[in-house]
């Protein structure tokens, strides 16, 4: 029954969920890391931009970012640098349309898109004897779904999901309906609507943006754009089919889910205690504090505790 007691302890007065979330996003941390970008063409005519942080190691960590994130996010760069120092090469891939250039097709990315991740793994695998998958927030849901929906690539040996909304419907509701989360909701909806408007300039017949500026919730955005652009009936269908929680019982590789209990983005449905109790490969760690992709303890300056925890888990899963 791998429910793991957590050793994360924030400083006094800095343990609140909103405090941890906002400080991690705003504090100016510098990470010494040089990426080498590579563009990978996809069979459907689109492309992915991959950012490599190679250190000459025989094992690789593939990093998946969160909603409207990219490989330049501090949490991604920091994790890549920590893994390099621990004996891993790192590959931070940008979801479609997130690498600084619009992708070529009307579609872009979503919470359940595992085909692109599989393509990245297949491309990188011939060079490495062992691959770990690490995902943040939306990217955490993606890697968990990948690990459970079908047998993963033979080179994949472990996974870590940080602040993962494994029940997307519940996670969307908590952001849409709780007034305390309004600042986060607006921060996400604004760039998503801007991305759709830019996409409509490429594909005016496929995408109608009339009234898009009135969208205020994920339910509205996913109903109008995410679902139809990616082959789902509506937002409910998209959320149901893309949520990773239903796939957790089928995960067979050592996998850590690190979700803080005071994460303002995560409702109770995103803490899969029952699944972890029944699956010896699934390790669930739920510290009382940490916020959303926060986990700041200031033991090593602005380096989050989660980086040290991931390195520790990959060295000895469990």
51 is catalytic: no
292 is catalytic: yes
237 is catalytic: no
Strand order in the sheet with 89-94: 3-4, 282-285, 255-258, 156-162, 130-136, 59-64, 89-94, 47-53, 36-41
Which of 65, 263, 289, 297 is catalytic? The answer is 263
- CA gap 165, 173 in Å, rounded: 11
Which of 64, 137, 172, 242 is catalytic? The answer is 137
Instruction: Name 24's Cβ contacts closer than 8 Å, sequence gap at least 6.
Output: 74, 75, 291, 293, 294, 295, 296, 304
> How many other CB atoms sit within 10 Å of the CB of residue 300?
10
Taking the CA atoms of the chain, what radius of gyration do you get in angstroms? Answer: 18
Question: What would the two tokens of residue 149 be?
Answer: 């929906």
Which of 111, 116, 292, 306 is catalytic? The answer is 292
Q: 255-258 and 282-285 as β-strands: parallel, antiparallel, unpaired?
A: parallel
Instruction: Name 125's Cβ contacts closer than 8 Å, sequence gap at least 6.
Output: 131, 153, 154, 155
The answer to whether 109 and 48 have CB atoms below 8 angstroms apart is no
What residues act catalytically?
A: 137, 263, 292
């Amino acid at each position: 029954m791998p429910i793991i007691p957590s050793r994360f302890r924030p400083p006094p007065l800095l343990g609140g969920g909103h405090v941890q979330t906002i400080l991690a996003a705003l504090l100016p941390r510098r990470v010494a890391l040089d990426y080498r970008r590579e563009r990978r063409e996809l069979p459907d005519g689109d492309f992915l931009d991959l950012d490599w942080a190679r250190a000459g190691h025989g094992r690789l960590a593939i990093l998946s970012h969160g909603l409207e994130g990219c490989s330049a996010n501090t949490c991604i760069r920091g994790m890549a640098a920590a893994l390099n120092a621990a004996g891993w090469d790192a590959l931070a891939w940008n979801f479609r349309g997130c690498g600084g250039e619009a992708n070529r097709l009307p579609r872009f990315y979503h919470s359940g898109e595992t085909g692109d991740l599989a393509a990245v793994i297949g491309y990188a695998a011939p060079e490495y004897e062992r691959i770990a998958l690490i995902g943040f927030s939306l990217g955490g849901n993606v890697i968990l779904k990948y690990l459970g929906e079908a047998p993963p690539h033979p080179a994949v040996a472990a996974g870590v999901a940080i602040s993962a909304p494994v029940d997307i419907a519940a996670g969307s509701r908590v952001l849409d309906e709780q007034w305390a989360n309004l600042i986060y909701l607006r921060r996400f909806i604004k760039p998503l609507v801007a991305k759709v408007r830019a996409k409509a300039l490429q594909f005016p017949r496929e995408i109608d943006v009339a009234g898009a500026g009135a969208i205020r919730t994920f339910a509205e955005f996913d109903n109008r754009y995410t679902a139809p652009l990616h082959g789902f009936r509506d937002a409910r269908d998209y959320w149901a089919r893309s949520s990773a929680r239903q796939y957790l019982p089928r995960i067979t590789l050592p996998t850590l889910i690190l979700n803080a209990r005071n994460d303002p983005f995560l409702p109770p449905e995103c803490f899969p205690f029952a699944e972890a109790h029944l699956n010896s490969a699934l390790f669930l760690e739920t510290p009382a504090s940490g916020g959303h992709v926060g986990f700041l303890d200031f033991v090593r300056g602005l380096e989050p505790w989660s980086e040290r925890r991931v390195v520790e888990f990959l060295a000895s899963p469990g």
